[in-house]
Amino acid sequence: MFLLTSLLSDVECCVPTGKTVMLVLQGSRWLLQGHDVQVVSTDYISRAASRMIAGQLGMALSADPTPPPTPGSVILHLYDFTNREADVQQAVTDLLARVKDGQLHVLLDEALFGGSDVSGQRLTTLVARLAESVPGLHLWAAGVLHTDIPPSLRPEPLTVPLRCAPSVLREVQKAVDRYGGVHNYSDSGVPAPGDGLRVIRLSHHGNAHTGRWPAECRQCGKEIAAELRRLGVGSGGNSLPNSPAPLSYCDVFIITRSSELQDDIEDDAGRVTSRASGVVRGLRDEGLPVCVLGEQDLRHNWARCERDLHDVAVAATDRVTVTDWCWVQGLERRVVVMLPGRHKEDDEGGNDEAIDVDDRLYAVSRCSTQLIMVDVPTVTTATSTAT
C-alpha cells in the first residue's frame, strides 16, 4: 500500500502503518497554515475513512489552544465513481471551484487507482485533470497499490508498523510473506513494550453451529458475544491488561467477507422481508447493540448505509459493528473479530490462499489490541439454517 502526494512528497505504505494518521496530520498542518482541506471520497470503500478524517480534522482545529487568526476549513466531498461516470466531472468542477491563490489541498484515503476497476480508472482521470489544471496542487493519497501509481504522484516507503501489537502483526505478516503487492515491515529501532495479548481462537464447529460460514451462524454470534462479555465490553469495566480505558461496544469490529451479510430487510410498510444474518441475530440474542454494514443493506437502503457509515467512522453511537471488510478500510478498533467467509464470486473460482491474504491484510490489520479469530474446519457437516 502507498501514501502519495502530487507535486510534493508522499509515503508508500504497508498495512497497518498509520497511513490514515499521516493524512490527518498533514491535513491539520494545512489547516493551521490557513488552507482549506478537501477530503474526497470517490466510492463506498473510502467512505468511512474519509468521514473519519474530516471529523478528526474538525476536532483538531477546535481543540487547538492557540488557533491561527484565519484557519482553513474542512470540506468533505462524497462521490460514487463506481456507479456514476458523471461524478468525475462533478468532482473536477467542485474541486476547481475551491482553488485559492492557485492552490488546492486534497486528501484521498483508500485511493485505488487504475487497474481493471472502473472506479480506479475514474480516480486516475480525476487526479490527472487536477494536476493539469492546478499548478499549486497539494494532493496526498493513501492506500495505493504500487502497481497502479499515476505518473503525477511520487511514492516514498512507509513500512514501520505504528498501530498494532506484535501478536496482531504476526497474523498480518503471514499475508505479507505470501503477497508481493505490499512492502515488508521494517524495524523501527524501538522495541515494543510487550508482545500484546494472546490471539483468542473460537471455532465454527459443533452441533449447535449452522451454515457453511460463521456469518450465517447464530451460535457463532452467541459465542462471540460471550467472549466480548468476558473481555468486559460494554460493562464499564476492562479486562485488557494495561489498557487506559474501558471497552465500549463501539471499540469492536466483527469483520467478514460475505456478499450475503445483512441486517433485517424491510418493505415500505416496515415488514421484515428477509431476516438478518445468523451471527447478527446471535449477538442480539445476547443483548449486544449491533450496526450492520453489508452489500445487501447497500442495495436496499443506501441512505441508511450513508448514515451508518458516518456513525461508524466517528464512533457516534455505542454499537458493535458487523461488516464486510471493504466498508471499514482505513479504520481500526481495539477489538477485532475475524470471521472467514466468501463472496459469491469466490465460490465460483476463488483461491483460498488469496482470500486468506486479503482477510489478513484488510481485516486483521484493523485490530490494534485484541484479535479474535473464528476458525472453520475444512469440512463443515452442519449446513441447516438457524431460525
**Record: fold of 166-375:** Rossmann fold (3.40.50)
DSSP 139-184: EEEES--GGG--TTEEE-EE----SS-HHHHHHHHHHHTT-TTSPP
Rg (CA), the chain: 21
Q: Which cell numbers in the block locate residue 262?
A: 445483512
For position 319, what pLDDT does the model report? 96
- In whole angstroms, give the CA distance from residue 95 to residue 334: 35
pTM of the predicted structure, to 2 decimals: 0.84
**Record: fold of 3-158:** Rossmann fold (3.40.50)
Q: For residue 209, what is the DSSP state?
A: -
Give burial (CB, 10 Å; 0-12/13-18/19+) of 173: middle
Query: Percent helix, strand, coil in the chain (nearest 5)?
Result: 35, 20, 45
Name the H helices within 302-351. Answer: 302-313, 344-347
Q: Determine contact, residues 3/147, Cβ cutoff 8 Å.
A: no
For position 126, what pLDDT does the model report? 94
For position 362, what pLDDT does the model report? 83
Which residues, 6 or more positions from 112, have their beta carbon under 8 angstroms from its beta carbon? 45, 119, 120, 123, 143, 144, 145, 148
Dump strand ranges (E) for the chain. Answer: 3-6, 12-13, 37-41, 74-78, 103-108, 136-142, 153-155, 157-158, 200-203, 252-256, 265-266, 272-274, 290-293, 320-324, 333-338, 367-375
- In whole angstroms, give the CA distance from residue 247 to residue 245: 6
Every domain range in the chain assigned CATH 3.40.50: 3-158, 166-375
Please choose, from the candidates 44, 41, 106, 53, the residue with its C-alpha nearest in 3D space to the C-alpha of residue 77: 41
One digit per residue, pLDDT tens: the chain, 387 residues? 334 444 433 333 444 456 788 899 999 999 999 999 999 999 988 999 999 999 999 888 777 777 777 889 999 999 999 999 999 999 999 999 999 999 999 999 988 887 678 998 999 999 999 999 999 999 998 877 766 777 777 776 667 666 677 888 888 888 877 776 666 777 666 666 667 789 999 999 988 999 999 999 999 999 999 999 999 999 876 666 666 678 999 999 999 988 889 998 878 888 888 899 999 999 999 999 999 998 766 666 777 788 888 999 989 999 999 999 889 988 999 999 999 998 766 665 557 788 888 888 888 989 989 999 999 987 544 444 444
For position 348, what pLDDT does the model report? 55
Q: At what angle do helices 166-176 and 352-362 cross, to 10 degrees?
A: 140
- In whole angstroms, give the CA distance from residue 63 to residue 73: 14
Q: Which cell numbers in the block locate residue 61?
A: 482545529
Q: For residue 215, what is the DSSP state?
A: G
Q: At what angle do helices 218-230 and 278-285 cross, to 10 degrees?
A: 40
The angle at the Cα of 215, spanning 80 to 319, to the nearest 5 degrees, equals 70
